């Protein structure tokens, strides 16, 4: 029976996909016993890499939120000529190969780059510093946040913003008291995804910031660097990332649900328009 065969084919495809996608993750944990993984994380190299990753990611994330939120609000609430073009520009790093991002950052901020002379005059040399890591992370991770933030702000009924204005609140107060709380779920989810993407950044960072242990060597770079000398450290960092990624995924799925139910109504069934 052909329809039965089709049904079986669907299940085989799904099983193959699940097996293929989970096997490498499982392998990380099966190669080395768990207590050994934890011990490896305490090694000098692993601790340094985690420290560099966290500090650069947190600084980059603060920049992404600080600039991305108002930019997304403007794009979501104002219609102007060239708006779609601007949105596309902001999304470009999503599809750009990380190596291209790295070479582009060098071409812009490198010593002989577009702004090299100006930066040099200020006594700034960005490549191969922690600032370079921060910029690389911002470049590749910000679109994840900005896209989610535009969608979150666009989902707000514009009349709520109008209502706030007619109630005497200026644009700033309307943003703080109405737009931000209502978009919080979407902003949280986008922020989580951008943070995860930034923490895993590899290609642009290694080209623009190098892989100097203790300075610019982030956790993903340390995994790559440890492959031939210290495979267990690489595995331990990999396993840490798996745990972190699972948490990120959970957070990205739960944050919007949680903020929605908390901010709109404690009774999920009361949300339908009763008369």
Partner 1 sequence: MDTLRLDLSVPLRAFSLDLTLEAGAGTLALAGPSGAGKTTLLRALAGLVRPARGRIAVGEDVWFDAARGIDLPPERRSVGFVFQDYALFPHLTVEENVAYAARAGAAALLERFGIADLARARPGELSGGERQRVALARALAREPRLLLLDEPMAALDAHTRAHVRGELRALLRDLGLPTLLVTHDFEDAAALAPRVAVLVRGRLVQEGRPEELVAAPADAFVAALTGGNLVPGVACPSAGGLTEVTLESGSGVYSTDAGTGRVGVAIACWDVTVAREAPPDSALNHLRAPIASLAPLGNRVRVRVGPLTAEVTAASAERLALTEGESVVASFKATATRLVPLS
* Contact footprint for partner 1 (CB under 8 A): 157, 159-160, 162-170, 177-178, 181-182, 263-267, 270-271, 273-275
The Cα 60–Cα 211 span in angstroms is 18
Nearer to partner 1, 83 or 177 (CB): 177
| Minimal distance, residue 79 CB to partner 1, in Å | 13
Q: Report residue 59 as tokens.
A: 């600084």
Which residue's CB is nearer to partner 1, number 82 or number 172? 172
Q: How far is the CB of 83 from partner 1 (least distance, A)?
A: 19
Torsion sign across C-alpha atoms 7, 10, 16, 18: negative
Q: Which residue's CB is nearer to partner 1, number 80 or number 267? A: 267
Q: CB of 156: closest distance to partner 1 in angstroms?
A: 10
Counting Cα atoms < 13 Å in the Cβ hemisphere of 168 gives 0
Q: How far is the CB of 266 from partner 1 (least distance, A)?
A: 8
Which residue lies nearer to partner 1 by CB, 111 or 165?
A: 165
CA dist., res. 57 & res. 64, Å (int): 10
Among residues 192, 199, 163, 201, the alpha carbon closest in space to that of 259 is found at 192
The alpha carbon of residue 101 and the mean position of all alpha carbons in its chain are separated, in whole angstroms, by: 16
Question: CA–CA separation, 257 vs 116, rounded Å?
Answer: 46
């Amino acid at each position: 029976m052909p329809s039965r065969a089709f049904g079986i084919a669907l299940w085989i495809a799904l099983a193959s996909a699940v097996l293929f996608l989970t096997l490498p993750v499982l392998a990380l944990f099966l190669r080395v016993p768990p207590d050994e993984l934890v011990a490896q994380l305490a090694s000098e190299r692993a601790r340094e890499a985690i420290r560099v990753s966290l500090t650069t990611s947190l600084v980059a994330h603060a920049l992404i939120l600080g600039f991305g939120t108002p930019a997304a609000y403007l794009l979501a609430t104002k219609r102007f000529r060239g708006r779609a073009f601007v949105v596309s520009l902001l999304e470009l790093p999503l599809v750009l190969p990380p190596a291209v991002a790295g070479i582009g950052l060098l071409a812009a901020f490198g010593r002989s780059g577009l702004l090299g002379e100006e930066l040099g005059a200020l006594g700034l040399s960005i490549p191969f510093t922690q600032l370079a890591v921060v910029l690389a992370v911002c470049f590749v991770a910000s679109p994840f946040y900005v896209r989610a933030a535009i969608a979150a702000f666009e989902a707000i009924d514009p009349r709520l913003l109008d209502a706030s204005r007619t109630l005497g609140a200026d644009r700033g107060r309307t943003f703080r008291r109405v737009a931000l709380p209502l978009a919080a779920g979407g902003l949280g989810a986008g922020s989580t995804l951008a943070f995860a993407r930034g923490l895993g950044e590899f290609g642009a960072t290694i080209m623009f910031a190098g892989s100097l242990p203790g300075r610019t060597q982030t956790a993903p770079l340390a995994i790559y660097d440890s492959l031939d000398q210290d495979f267990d450290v690489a595995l331990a960092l990999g396993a840490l990332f798996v745990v972190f990624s699972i948490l990120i995924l959970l957070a990205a799925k739960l944050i919007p649900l949680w903020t929605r139910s908390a901010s709109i109504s404690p009774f999920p069934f009361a949300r339908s328009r009763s008369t």
